[in-house]
Amino acid sequence: MVALVLASTSPYRKALLERLGVPFECVAPGVDEDTAKGKETSPIAIARLLARAKAKAVSQQRSKDVVIGSDQVCALDETVLGKPGSKAAAEQQLKLLRGKAHLLLTAVAVQRGSKVEEFVDVTTLRMRDLTDAEVRRYVELDQPLDCAGSYMFERAGVGLFDRVEGEDHTAIVGLPLVKLCEVLRGFGVEC
């Protein structure tokens, strides 16, 4: 059986991959995301670059294993909204997104040795026109300080939106499992 490695320490991606019932190991990729982001300007290029960099970093140590690298970028037009880190920054991001549609770009790179398969899932989310009180209440409730865009769709954050368009709802949480399963089967991983 082929060994599977998730090049991530994200608890969200780990929980999603566990749903497949396939044994895997999590390994921190050690990629400097800020430096990598400085090399690209478009949100989709940033997501792809980081997914590739994560898969490559771990694959260099584990060349016989199938390595999954993934990154997610929240983009309002061409503006990238990162992890807020504080309640004030989370509230600011949500106020910027309210009443507007934005993209959640989830890039995945699967690598084994020199073989690499990549894809990007694009989800469009339209946030309701939230009041300041709703924004404050939500941030206090979910504490989305480590989530790009300042919301946790898999928790109470789902109530922030009035429209979601995409191919795979698991991509919103951080790992598009439908396409990932297809790619993993091509690498000999049964899922």
Instruction: Tokens 């979910």: give the residue.
Output: 142
- Report whether 37 contacts 94 (CB < 8 A): no
CA-CA distance, 165 to 129, in Å (whole number)?
Answer: 18
Smallest Cα–Cα separation from 116: which of 7, 17, 33? 7
Directed axis angle between helix 87-97 and helix 132-142, to 10°? Answer: 130
Active site residue 71: yes
- Catalytic site residue from 65, 71, 121, 142: 71
DSSP states of 57-91 as a string?
HHHHH-TTSEEEEEEEEEEETTEEE----SHHHHH
Catalytic site residues? 71
